[in-house]
Amino acid sequence: MTIQSLNQMSYVLSGQMQVGQGEQVLTALLGSCVGIGMIWRAQRRCGLAHCFLPEGVEFAMDGTEDSARFVNAAIPRLLARLGVRREQYEEVDVVIAGGARMLNLRAADGTVGTRNIEAARSQLSLRGLQVMFQDVGGSHGRRLSIDCERQTFSVVRILREQEAARVPQPYQQPSQSPYLQRQAVFA
């Protein structure tokens, strides 16, 4: 990421989605939420949904046209906002990240993070969309960024303090945080 791309950073907050193009970099900080990123190279458009629950019902009258609270509603909305038609789905690269177990809370059917991951995979599969990369689960947060100009994404793991202490770090530049661990950058 360059200084210029940092100036074009758009933070996608929990329950929101954004579509970007040009110099925009869409970024979400994820814990148990799942981030669903889409890169449509043919049209040079990108989208990112930051979902915090696997499923639910939203009503049109409550201003939810840009909502990504629920995975089951966010995926079709994001595809529509990108302008992708069903016959163009194979042109869309999909990345998912997040779904961590951040708290020791557990529902009868699993942790929220696990259920979010399963819902994302299921909803994408229903539409015939292939996940090109995923970094999901575990017990650490992540930052998912999509650089719309370069048509790339990155996933950075955010370690907890005790995890960072276990990572061997013989030398650390002062500007680096011990809580960030580079995971992946893909073009």
In 3D space, the residue among 187, 178, 149, 183 whose CA is nearest the CA of residue 30 turns out to be: 183
- The pTM assigned to this predicted structure is 0.81
How many whole angstroms separate alpha carbon 93 and alpha carbon 108?
A: 33
Query: CATH no. for residue 39?
Result: 3.30.1330.200
**CA–CA distances in Å: residue 169 to residues 23, 60, 138, 177:** 34, 50, 22, 11
Q: Going residue by residue through the chain (187 aa), what tens digit of pLDDT does each one get?
A: 555 545 689 999 999 999 998 999 999 999 999 999 999 999 999 999 999 999 987 765 555 567 899 999 999 999 999 999 999 999 999 999 999 988 766 555 568 999 999 999 999 999 999 999 999 999 899 999 999 999 999 999 997 665 555 555 444 434 444 444 555 555 5
How many whole angstroms separate alpha carbon 143 and alpha carbon 145?
A: 6
CB atoms within 10 A of CB 116: 29
Domains: count for the chain: 1
Q: Which domain does 29 fall in, by range?
A: 3-186
In 3D space, the residue among 37, 50, 31 whose CA is nearest the CA of residue 140 turns out to be: 31
